[in-house]
Amino acid sequence: MEENTLVWLAKTITYICLFYISFIISRYFFKLKNKKINIDDELTVKDNLSFSIVTTGYFLGVLIVFIGVLHGETHGLINDIILILSYTVFGNLLLILTSIFNEKIVFGKKFNFYKEIIKDENIGTGFIEAANFIGSGLLIYGAISGRSINIFPNIETLGHYLSDVISLLIFWVIGQLILFVALIVYRKISSYDFIVEIQKDNNAVGIVYSSVFIAVAYLYSCAVKGDIISWYDTFEDIVYYLVLGMILLPLSRYVIERIILPKSNLTHEIVHQEIPNKGAALIEAFAYIGSAILISYCM
């Protein structure tokens, strides 16, 4: 076996081991976030599917953040190890802050996530919380997948790292605000109050909202991904992606509805039936996420 192959294999094994270490670190943060909950009991004794969905979403968010670090340019194995472990800790903190913002600000005091997920085992709420973690992971992924402009040129390398962290915080805050606005717009254009529907255990609505959240987060991630050459150009990309998304996401929903269910109405299937149609919700979710992916490859 050639030396280059051995070096490649050693690096690959190192990065995989780092992911497992990151996973262990993330488990402690997840337990900290859910310190009032007996995690093992919920997942194995009570077989709480809603909390299982939340747990899966959290660690998918962690995986997306980890991939974001690897997506950027390498700085040498030792520096990469430090960066991965640092962003693991920082990323987990942002995931938890995102969850708190979502629970306290976006949904407000009238909606109790703990009650819905732990006491009621509301699967729709589980999908929403999972999408919250996945969406936040996408925001972080976009912000850390490239280098920022060095705003501290006098300290060179350290200045680059500090600039990357500041850039991450800026884009994370902007991303949260954009998702918050997307929620308000979604509530305005919907013919039903999705929060009320979720409280009624309408899992189909939970699936649809989750797909909207992920689609918007994905578009934002694509807009900020890569090296920042100009702040103006990056913010211009954000506007382009999101405006196009605001037009094409609902349009794609209409087109998909007419193609797949020409004799039916998605809103009726999801909201106005005695038993909400989760299959119809998956079709609408495909329309939103599929459109976001299509936009990202066409831009």
User: So what's the pLDDT on residue 208?
Assistant: 92
Cβ-proximal residues to 187 (8 Å cutoff; 6+ apart), any chain: 193, 194, 195
CA-derived radius of gyration, the chain: 20
How would you write 256-296 as a 3-class SS string? HHHHHCCCCCHHHHHHCCCCCCHHHHHHHHHHHHHHHHHHH
Q: Extract the residue ranges of the chain whose pLDDT is less than 70.
A: 1-3, 72-75
DSSP string for 211-245 = HHHHHHHHHHHHHH-S--S-HHHHHHHHHHHHHHH
What pLDDT does 59 receive? 95
Taking only the tens place, the pLDDT of each residue in 69-89 is 887 666 677 877 888 888 899
Contact at 8 Å (CB) between 62 and 137? yes
Residue whose C-alpha is closest to residue 91's, from 149, 140, 155, 21: 140
Tens of pLDDT, residues 232-243: 888 899 999 988
Domain parsing of the chain, residue ranges: 3-298
Distances (CA, A) of 7 to 2, 11, 12, 82, 197: 9, 6, 9, 19, 55
Q: Which pLDDT does position 1 carry in this prediction?
A: 44
